[in-house]
Amino acid sequence: MKHEIIVDVKRDHILNLLNSGKRIDGRAFDEYREVSVEVGINQRAEGSALVKLGRTQVMVGVKLSVGEPFPDMPDSGVLTTNAELIPLASPSFERGPPDEDTVELARVVDRAIRESRCIDLEKLCISEGELVWIVFIDLHPLDYDGNLFDACTLGAIAALKNAVFPKLEDGRVDYKTKTEEKLPIVDTPVEVTFAKIGGHILVDPCLEEEEVLDARLTVGYNEKGEIVAMQKGGSGTFTQEEILDIVRRGREKAEFLRKHLPGDADGKN
Amino acid sequence: MERKLVIPGEEVAAGKVKLGDGVYREGEKVYASVLGLLDTSRGLVRVIPLTGRYFPKVGDFVIGFVKGTVYETAWEVDINSPYLAILNAGDYYRDVDPFRTPLQRVMSPGTTVYAYVREVAPTRRIYITMRQRGCRVIRGGRLIQISPAKVPRVIGRKRSMISMIVKETGCKLLVGQNGRVWIGGRNAKTADLVERAIRKIEAEAHTSGLTDRIKEMIVKERERV
Amino acid sequence: MKAGEPEEFIIDGKRLDGRRVDELRPLKIEAGVLKRADGSAYLEWGGNRVLAACYGPREIHPRHEANPQRAVLRTYYSMAPFSVYERKRPGPDRRSMEISKVTRQALESVVFTHLYPMTAIDVYIEILQAQAGTRCAGITAASVALADAGIPMKDLVPACAAGKVGGHIVLDLFDIEDNYGEADLPVAIVPRTGEVSLLQMDGNLTQEEFEQAFKLAIKGCMQVYEKQKEALRRRYGGSQE
């Protein structure tokens, strides 16, 4: 990702506003932008979702294929999370192989999905040691206006919950025939990102805030409110108290995000 | 006056007419080349663009962001156009000797300037200067970005819109032809009001009677401020 | 006969998806859908879902690609991994590179690149869901995105394919027809002059069949053109004061 120069006037304005208790887009410090989650928006994917976080838009597709399991986990399916920061989505995204921002995004989303054990990977075993389902989660931002972590994690879990198995015949996948059987999803992890700007802590940074933040902290929570993934970013630091506070406050935000996931009844394709 | 929306390729005139911007001739006929509103009011045929990037013209005032220095004797400035602008040390508003004081110390990357386009070279190198009335380094206040296509309405005929807003609110206002607008003012609420007014002008740029409506809005909301 | 091939492609005058031979799939275009891009368009064409974004004219990187006479138009066609039945590996492949090239050449003749020397005009086409005919869908969306970005151009460029399936010449093939048909002929035109700016063909056609398919594709392009104009008018409002 190309990093734009930070314009003093813009940074000072954001800081001045924060000092008087306001954010550049009028939100409260603990307020998300408008969240919307649509699922089943892609007929080629086994599961799909379009997440909007303000004007950030992310499409997530889940594809299933079959292959050999890892030798050390012969009865377990395989999960692969991939992100593409396509230059269509932002003037700062560049063509070419995945850069460190892309890889970090994919790994941080993967962490919450994997560590929450939200996919029952053992149920993805077709023939032990020989054939298992492979789950591909493709994170595809379409319009980048800040906070891809939360949007992508929400999209990933929405797309997973939306996913159904394609028909399997003689060890081969018939992608054109979908079954009624849903992917075994047993938890709904979500991630909540806070930014620190001039000593102020705020949730869901928009692009203008992201450009000037000192540090950010992403926390992933499972349904019980347990912490399943974390990632601190930015060159600035947090105090220990700030970290503890964020982790406590994030839980409620996670509940808020989770409410936007379509219920099982609407989660169908 | 009713102005028609035209799309690239649409026929807008025929025969002997003078061509302005946003149109092209092929044979006897004249066609739109950009998406915009057809205007024939000034004795020529032109299309006023409704969208698009800013292209610097000599005589424009712009708001730029210093990106860095080149050859230690000039700054490179982002003016929201396809081309970076050059601000030579000699075009800074006061005398600086780049061989004594590194230019980064005079203006570091991220500094905002209000400057004047003094030359557009055939090579498309853009030269800006701060040795023009009103040019300066901008500090404080807030910046907003609007569509460059809408800037003429924010300025208004003979600066009528700007003058009205400044008079009614007491805010300072700098409008760059490149779509960047700076609002300076003592209190945030008044600046908020000016920002809302400018957003309203941008959204309703194609309508008539705009200055009066904006004034009405400001006077009404000013009382609440 | 290949596995999965239908026995007939046209039954009682109707195609397998219910269309007449000269009928387009339902086409919906929306202009200006992205915040960050200078211009954009989203298109649903049958089962195709395509997003196009235009950035520019802007500074060109790497700088040695700059042309002192004109802007450099760069087009990139790419398919999302989940846009096809079998997951596509991310990144460019030979097919997408070729489509990127012919797309650029389909659009280059209408863009007034000489106005903006030393710059790049970048157009990104992302296929989100594919059901055959994605290059035509991409070109169609791209030219709406260019206009939405305010790029000066001679005309919009609509594209549409015709082809041959089960011995019949048909307009706008969908995936089953594309997979098992005898020929596919994608065409893009400059509607005002009727000039052809993209033409590809694969399969087998007699001289007569080619002529018939070619004319049909051009008719299809003209229908697509109307949808492009409608999309831009909707975005910018009909006639205004």
Q: Does CATH place domain B61-138 in 2.40.50.140? A: yes
Q: Which pLDDT tens digit goes with each residue over C163-182?
A: 999 999 999 999 999 999 99
The two beta strands, C119-129 and C159-165, are: unpaired
Band the pLDDT of A73: cuts 50, 70, 90: very high
Q: What's the pLDDT at B182?
A: 97
Instruction: For residues B61 and B48, give the distance between their C-alpha atoms in angstroms, rounded to a whole number.
Output: 20
User: Which chain C residues are closer than 8 Å to B206 by Cβ?
Assistant: 237, 240-241
Q: Within 10 A of A54 (CB to CB), how many other CB atoms are there? A: 21
- Does residue C82 belong to any structural domain of this protein? yes
Helices and strands per DSSP (H, E), number in chain B: 5, 15
The candidate with the shortest Cα–Cα distance to C7, out of C163, C161, C167, C132, is C167
Question: Hey, do B5-49 and B142-224 end up sharing a CATH topology, with the first three levels equal?
Answer: no
- Beta-bridge mates of residue C122: C55, C74
User: Which chain B residues are closer than 8 Å to A12 by Cβ?
Assistant: 139-140
Q: Which pLDDT tens digit goes with each residue over A231-269?
A: 999 999 999 999 999 999 999 999 999 999 997 544 443
Q: How many domains does chain C have?
A: 1
Chain C: closest CA distance from residue B177 (Å): 16
Which of A:28-67 have CB within 8 Å of C? 42-45, 48, 55, 57, 59, 61-63, 65
How large is the average pLDDT for residues B133-154? 94
Q: What's the pLDDT at B39?
A: 93
How large is the average pLDDT for residues A4-23? 94
Average pLDDT over chain A reads: 95
Confidence check: pLDDT of C101 > 90: yes
List of residues 6+ apart from B200 with CB closer than 8 A = B213, B214, B217
Contact C156, B7 (CB under 8 A): yes
The model's pTM is 0.95
Alpha helices in chain B (DSSP H): 103-106, 151-155, 160-169, 188-203, 210-224
Tell me which residue has tokens 């907003």.
B144
In chain A, what are the domain boundaries?
Answer: 8-258
Q: What's the pLDDT at B132?
A: 95
Q: What's the pLDDT at B188?
A: 84
Q: Which pLDDT tens digit goes with each residue over C202-234?
A: 999 999 999 999 999 999 999 999 999 999 999
ipTM tops the 0.90 cut: yes
Closest residue to A7, CB basis, from B65, B140, B141? B65
Query: What subunits make at least 3 CB pairs under 8 angstroms with A?
Result: B, C
**Interface touch A7/B112, C-beta < 8 Å:** yes
**Interface touch B7/C156, C-beta < 8 Å:** yes
Chain C: closest CA distance from residue B170 (Å): 31
Homologous superfamily of B142-224 in CATH? K Homology domain, type 1 (3.30.1370.10)
Closest residue to C35, CB basis, from A65, A86, A145? A145
Instruction: For residues B15 and B107, give the distance between their C-alpha atoms in angstroms, rounded to a whole number.
Output: 53
Q: What's the pLDDT at A214?
A: 96
B5-49: CATH number: 2.40.50.100
Q: Which helix (H) or strand (E) holds C70?
A: none
Confidence check: pLDDT of A1 > 80: no
In chain B, what are the domain boundaries?
Answer: 5-49, 61-138, 142-224
**Interface touch B143/A11, C-beta < 8 Å:** no
Q: What's the pLDDT at A264?
A: 56
- Does residue C80 belong to any structural domain of this protein? yes
Q: What's the pLDDT at A39?
A: 98
Q: What's the pLDDT at C241?
A: 36
Chain B: closest CA distance from residue A9 (Å): 6
User: Which chain C residues are closer than 8 Å to B82 by Cβ?
Assistant: 56-59, 116, 118-119
User: Which is higher by pLDDT, A33 or B43?
Assistant: A33
Test mutation, B137, B142, B180, chain A, max A CBs within 10 A:
B142
Closest residue to C119, CB basis, from B22, B34, B82? B82
Contact A141, A58 (CB under 8 A): yes
Which chain A residue's Cα is nearest to C84? A44
- Does residue C61 belong to any structural domain of this protein? yes
**Interface touch A9/B109, C-beta < 8 Å:** no
CATH of residue C167's domain is 3.30.230.70
A8-258: CATH number: 3.30.230.70
